[in-house]
Amino acid sequence: MTLCIGENIRQLRTDAGLTQRALAHSLKISIQAVSKWEQNRSYPDITMLPAIAELFSVSIDRLFQA
């Protein structure tokens, strides 16, 4: 099973008109972390999922949808 969370975050971020820098600032993380997520080189820490979902007004389940 391949996780699509990085692709979903990228799509939600661009739909919201946010840059990687703006998303990183909102979540108080590095721009590099956001970049790695979007390239599927790493995944957000599980404790960050509620904040990411809230920021985009979606459910946590939506972050994982294929």
Domain boundaries, the chain: 5-64
Task: Please report which confidence band the pLDDT of residue 66 belongs to, taking 50, 70 and 90 as the band edges.
Answer: confident
Is the pLDDT confidence value at 3 over 90? no
**Angle (nearest 5°) at CA 39 between 42 and 29:** 55
- Please report where in the chains the tokens 């391949």 appear, as a residue: 2
Mean pLDDT along residues 45-53: 97
Mean pLDDT for 2-24 is 94
Mean pLDDT of the chain: 95
Non-local CB neighbours of 55 within 8 Å, separated by 6+ positions: 23, 26, 27
Rounded mean pLDDT of 31-41?
A: 96
Query: Domain 5-64 sits in which CATH superfamily?
Result: lambda repressor-like DNA-binding domains (1.10.260.40)
Asked whether the whole model's pTM tops 0.85, one would answer yes
| CA distance readout (Å), 43 to 24, 30, 60 | 14, 13, 14
